[in-house]
Amino acid sequence: MPRKAKVHTEMDDDGDVELTVKQPTPPPTSPSTIIKGKSKSKSASGTRTPPPTGLRQRIKNTVDEISKETEELHVRLWKKDDGHYKLLAPGTPFNEIDLSESTFFRHDGHKGKPTWSSWLFGRKFVFPAGVILGICLALWAVDLTTLPADMKDIWSTLPAALDPRDLLANLTVVEGARRALENRDFTVGESLVEQYGLQKHHPIVLIPGIVSTGLESWGTESVARPFFRKRLWGTSTMIRAVLTNKDRWIQALSIDPETGLDPPGFKIRAAQGLDAARILIGYWIWQKIVENLATLGYDTNSMDMAAYDWRLAYYNLETRDAYFTRLKGRIETMRRHNGQKVVLCSHSLKWVESDPKENGFGGGGGAAWVEENIESWINVAGTMLGVSKAMTAFLSGEMRDTVELHPAGSWVLEKFFSRRERAKLFRRWPGSTSMWMKGGNRIWGNDSSAPDDPTNATDTHGRFFSFRHPGTSEEESSLNRWTVSPNLTLNEAGPYVLTHTPPSFQRMMESNYSVGFERDEEQLKRNDRDHTKWSNPLEVRLPEAPSMKIFCLYGHGKETERSYWYMQGEYEHDDTRSDAENEDAYCDTTDPSNGCDNSTTLRAPLDFPLSRKHWIDSVVTVKGSNPEVRSGVKFGDGDGTIPVISLGSMCVKGWNGTTRWNPAGIEVITQEYLHSPESMDLRGGAQTADHVDILGATPLNTAILKIAAGRGDLVTQQIGSEIFEYVKKQDWD
């Protein structure tokens, strides 16, 4: 048995390695074995031992594999500046061999000393420099006059010149960006706990608004199985469904126009729990309020979200889902469990009071139920008297957001989801009809003036729809009483929209909603038993609950679409014509099972084209007008979605004190929040008053937490708009 060689290994501070191998009986050994260092040893199991990864270990492994019988040999590995090694073996044929290309000796962790040229032309410099250069070119080429209003607000906060010294000196921009990136979660609740010692007191039920609740599919028919238990509204699944199978998605989300319930083959239900409206397509909705309530000690035993299928009319919401009956039971359970009345945020309570034995529907709470169970009703940015954009959505499927798109974006939208398709979908959501404008000319103005017209007005919001004649120039000088007609007030605009909707929509509207103005107190009492009036605060009384409080919390100071310029197109065949029982008269192409095409469908005799194309006259932009007219839209004050007139009129006038609409004299506190967005925050920051983003604003969260914690006395009236001037000009008598 030959003796093993004695091996001595040394590595100096520079990384050079010296090997000394001594053996008195030198056997013939191939030098290539020393240089290549290939191991032929195997493990006990017969498998090859994986080569070590470190340089020191690889050298040691090579030495161990050197023939056991050899003469003394000195080998030195010299590390060059570039991190590679050179072999020094004096007296052998392998002296000064460069090992740079040898994978065995390659040292990947060493990159060598960086040079200015390698850094300058490397990706770490070129890529960021290209990004900065592209941004600078875009800022230099941008035309400020074409920027949307929100972008103009952001632009105004930036330095006037693109001088790097100004950018560095303008610390307010840097500070704004820093604040925008800070995590503001829980901060409102934590500050109130520290300042007032607030803690959980009244249980609270959150009720989302229209389109806020996620909707998921429960249908098991073949057409619906691919969507089972997937959210078709409110998540990225909705976007995928629209992009991959738009017609099937529209069919699933549409309400049957005849029954007002699920279409054949589909079953869509509202998601439940606090997650039902916490986040919508990646953006928080009620999440901030939930987080801040949790800092006061709230959890699922004291806080709940009463989500609902907002597509349904209220009557069918109770008929199909027993929503108001279940809401009544949920509130009563929370009151008993927590020992305190419940704070409701927010919905009409007549449905809960209604006696199902007497009226055939309702929660059966009775007239005293609200007084016994409800502490406060928080009305957050409620669409009390309707929304202007709802009228245009039903008429032409448009609103400000669609007409102010870039022409390229408008073309894509029209090709992918046309105005006609959008209008048809809106008409198949009966629940959205609750946003129809209410009160007529008494509230919204007449042909000559409107309550919210600005001082020195050159036009009026009272003319809700103004139609420019085809062929007339959009220049201001060409727009006069001979070239613009008809001019429709709200009293005329409502019926006009209805006549351009399908008969099924008209029947649904008649059987579920009312948009009038009622002054007679005896009739208001009778309306307590007419469910078609309950969504209109101008035609129904508040509950007999004198100890309850109402808090109206909403924003103002953001331009909001208020009235419109329109164009009338040619007449066309559509489903707005009169009823026809014969299947040959009409075939719905949105239902793939019908297998039909309206362009070839046989029509009944004398079936004239009664529908007419409509679109917002986006080319009309009157510079210097008062109110402002841009892209066919006339703007007023509001929260970006709802005009101030709708948000505040009932709160500061109709319900203020003991009135015919508030016979119990329920106290109403109104807080308005001025829209003051932070330019570096995409959601507006802590002081935003936008219709949706206000749910994350500090003032609103502060008010809700004080009310829930039993300190509603800290929430006092705060008015910043001209709502008091507006209600003086309205006809309430």
Q: Would you please indicate which residues are annotated as catalytic (active-site) residues? A: 348, 639, 691
Cα separation, 223 vs 592, in Å, equals 9
Structure token pair of residue 91: 């007296």
Scanning the structure block, which residue is given the tokens 């419109």?
564
Cα separation, 592 vs 716, in Å, equals 56
Cα separation, 147 vs 204, in Å, equals 42
Pairing of strands 374-380, 549-556: parallel
Three-state DSSP class for residue 200: coil
Q: Give the DSSP per-residue string, 716-731.
A: --B--SSHHHHHHTS-
Cα separation, 654 vs 651, in Å, equals 6
Cα separation, 195 vs 398, in Å, equals 47
| Torsional sign, CA 276, 280, 281, 283 | negative
For 720, other C-beta atoms within 10 Å of its C-beta total 14
Three-state DSSP class for residue 550: strand
Report the Cα 6 to chain-centroid distance in Å. 74
For 83, other C-beta atoms within 10 Å of its C-beta total 16
Cα separation, 104 vs 95, in Å, equals 18
Cα separation, 374 vs 202, in Å, equals 10
List phi, psi (to 5°) of 718. -150, 110
Burial of 41 (0-12, 13-18, 19+ CB in 10 A): exposed
Which amino acid would we find at residue 75? V
Tell me if 622 sits within 8 A of 629, measured CB to CB: yes
CA angle 416, 420, 424 (to 5 degrees): 110
Tell me if 285 sits within 8 A of 268, measured CB to CB: no
Which stretch of DSSP H or E encloses residue 196? helix 187-196
Cα separation, 697 vs 718, in Å, equals 16
| E runs forming strands in 407-471 | 465-468
- DSSP-derived letter for residue 652 is I
Cα separation, 568 vs 468, in Å, equals 8
Distance, first Cα to last Cα, the chain: 120
Bridge partners of residue 616, in order along the sequence: 566
Cα separation, 421 vs 426, in Å, equals 9
List phi, psi (to 5°) of 342. -100, 145
Structure token pair of residue 228: 């089972």
Cα separation, 99 vs 388, in Å, equals 79
Cα separation, 44 vs 224, in Å, equals 60
Structure token pair of residue 21: 């191998």
Three-state DSSP class for residue 517: coil
Structure token pair of residue 402: 């669609």
List phi, psi (to 5°) of 116. -65, -35
Cα separation, 309 vs 233, in Å, equals 11
Cα separation, 466 vs 408, in Å, equals 26
For 269, other C-beta atoms within 10 Å of its C-beta total 16
Residue spans of alpha helices (H) in 599-719:
644-649, 698-708
